[in-house]
Amino acid sequence: MGECSDVVFLIIAIFVALLVLFAVYLNGRRLHRRERAILALLDGADAFEAQLHECKQRMQRLRDMLTILPQEMSARADQALSADPQVAAALKDLLAHRLWIQQHAQSASRRELADARAAMNQSSTTLAEQIERLDEITRDLKRAQASAKTVTPNAS
């Protein structure tokens, strides 16, 4: 009977050890998923910041182009450049996202992390549309510049 109880004890000990290992494995997976979510959020913030700086550079190039065109040819570009406060607001929003990540990412639920990522993606999509409008206006202004040069040669 002693041998039988030793075998039962051994089986129970192995079963408990397997349960502990399984719990450790599940916890490790959960932590890894959280880490990936936080890294994705940080990568999204970096990409959004780069996109904001690109937008500002394109707006500056567009401003530079406007100085050599007549006012009637640049009205649409002036309208696009009125988005400058929106870009500044987006930079502030990005800083708020980064602060939230720093303060809450470790304790946030997976849902909160996903919501933060979705909000940043939405802002990025909106900014991408603005950049596309700037590109379109830049192409139009370049065509207008080319037309203006062929119509009125330089007086140098």
| Helix or strand (DSSP H, E) at 84 | helix 84-104
- Asked whether the beta carbons of 40 and 115 are under 8 A apart, the reply is no
Percent of the chain at pLDDT > 70 equals 83
Task: Say how many domains are in the chain.
Answer: 1
- Asked whether the beta carbons of 108 and 145 are under 8 A apart, the reply is no
Q: How many CA atoms lie within 13 A of 116 on its CB side?
A: 27
Whether 131 shows a pLDDT value over 80: the answer reads: yes
70 domain-assigned: yes
11 domain-assigned: no
Q: Which domain holds residue 133?
A: 33-149
Sorting pLDDT into bands at 50, 70 and 90, what band is 67? confident
What is the C-alpha separation between 51 and 47, in angstroms, rounded? 6
94 domain-assigned: yes
154 domain-assigned: no
Q: What are phi and psi of 132, to 5 degrees?
A: -65, -40
SS3 of residue 99 by DSSP: helix
155 domain-assigned: no
Q: Which two tokens stand for residue 155?
A: 């007086």
Q: What is the pLDDT of residues 11-56, one digit of tens each?
A: 999 999 999 999 999 989 988 988 998 998 899 899 999 998 888 8
What is the C-alpha separation between 87 and 127, in angstroms, rounded? 8
85 domain-assigned: yes
